[in-house]
Amino acid sequence: MAIEKLVSLNVERSYEELRRILLANECKIVAEDPPRSITVEHGSFWALTPRDVRKRIRFILIPQDSKTKIAAITSLASDYIALFIFAFISLTIIIPVGVWIVIDTENWAEETGYQRMLMLTNIAKILLAVSTILVLIGLISGIYTYVKRESFSEEILKMLT
């Protein structure tokens, strides 16, 4: 999804102003085609907010009489997406295996009367509950980040006159 803004500057001045704003906001320019487009990377791999998560943004400038329409297309960085998918799949596999181990160990401990093993299964249950909560939080966070990925682009476009 692209977001757009019509600015009252001509395309050359719009490009210069956009470039200045991007550099002032810690964006790394990865491609330029003055004055038609500029592509930047912004954010950190370890960020927790949609505004600051690592992403690539392509700004396309389209002249319209004496004004310029600027379109911004944002995509999340591939390493961020890969980490999210890896963590989600890993925890989704670990949780059922952990449940199976807890149930099996608990049954064994009850059959043999080994009480210390029951204490360990209670600890394992707590760890499984925490893992399940982390999967849910991660899933909600990932969806929220994807939906709000344009927030930084919107902020940049608002700075243009």
Whole-number Å distance between alpha carbons of 109 and 107: 5
Is the predicted pLDDT of residue 97 greater than 80, yes or no?
yes
Provide CB contacts within 8 A for 120, sequence distance 6+: 105
The verdict on 140 and 152 lying in the same domain is no
Q: Domain span at residue 153?
A: 2-77+148-159
83 vs 42, more confident: 42
φ and ψ of 56, to 5 deg: -120, 130
Same domain for 133 and 154? no
Same domain, yes or no: 86 and 140? yes
Is residue 73 domain-shared with residue 87, that is, in the same domain? no
What percent of the chain clears pLDDT 90, i.e. is strictly above it?
Answer: 55
The structure's pTM equals 0.80
Quote the number of domains for the chain.
2
> What single-letter amino acid sits at 4?
E
- Structure token pair of residue 4: 């757009």
Q: Contact 127/102 with Cβ under 8 angstroms?
A: no
Rounded to the nearest angstrom, the gap between the alpha carbon of residue 41 and the centroid of all alpha carbons in its chain is 13
Q: Mean pLDDT, the chain, as a whole number?
A: 90
Query: Within its chain, how far is the Cα of 157 from the centroid?
Result: 20
Q: Answer whether 41's CB lies under 8 Å from 27's CB.
A: yes
Q: Which DSSP string do the residues of 94-157 spell out, in sequence order?
A: HHHHHHHHHHHHHHHHHHHT-HHHHHHHHHHHHHHHHHHHHHHHHHHHHHHHHHTTTHHHHHHH
CATH number at residue 17: 3.30.530.50
